[in-house]
Amino acid sequence: MKTYFLGLVLVLSFSQCQSQTISSMSDFKPEISKNETQWKQELGPEKFRILRQKGTEYPGTGEYDKHFETGTYSCAGCGANLFTSDSKFDAHCGWPSFDKEIIDGAITEIRDFSAGMVRTEILCTKCGGHLGHVFNDGPTKTKLRYCVNSLSMTFERKK
């Protein structure tokens, strides 16, 4: 009984770990703000399309889809740390998948009604770059599946 109770407490404390959620893009004031021309110059056309125009890379094509080295994934727009390799799993969906953000608040969530679906878009809190979407159907204890474009991230191997 005691073990069961402890388990329940753990589950409850886990569910309190949450990303920052906003209801509209106009409420969102990322710390790093640049104009379109600056972003385009810095990111190049492919990353610009994903990060700043909310694009999606073709499934199965991303550099980090089948990438399972130990290290840290950061935002390709501003360098903010987003995920560790410990939280990465193979969701067989064609995009790198993670079950939690590196620290609470690293990622900002917003409802996305585009493409005829209701989804939760994920953004880098620091620069507002589009990362992908998060779903509640993950196979691990967090039940979350952060589905992220490889082009939105950089990777640094643990030394």
Chain residues in the site for Zn ion (CB under 5 A): 75, 77-78, 80, 124, 126-127, 129
Least distance to Zn ion from the beta carbon of 56, Å? 17
Cβ nearer to Zn ion, comparing 87 with 152: 152
User: Quick one: how far is CA 125 from the chain centroid?
Assistant: 10
Active site residue 124: no
Least distance to Zn ion from the beta carbon of 43, Å? 11
Cβ nearer to Zn ion, comparing 32 with 112: 32
Cβ nearer to Zn ion, comparing 43 with 80: 80
Distance CA 94, CA 77 (A): 22
Residues 144 and 138 sit within 8 Å (Cβ to Cβ): yes
Residues with catalytic roles = 147
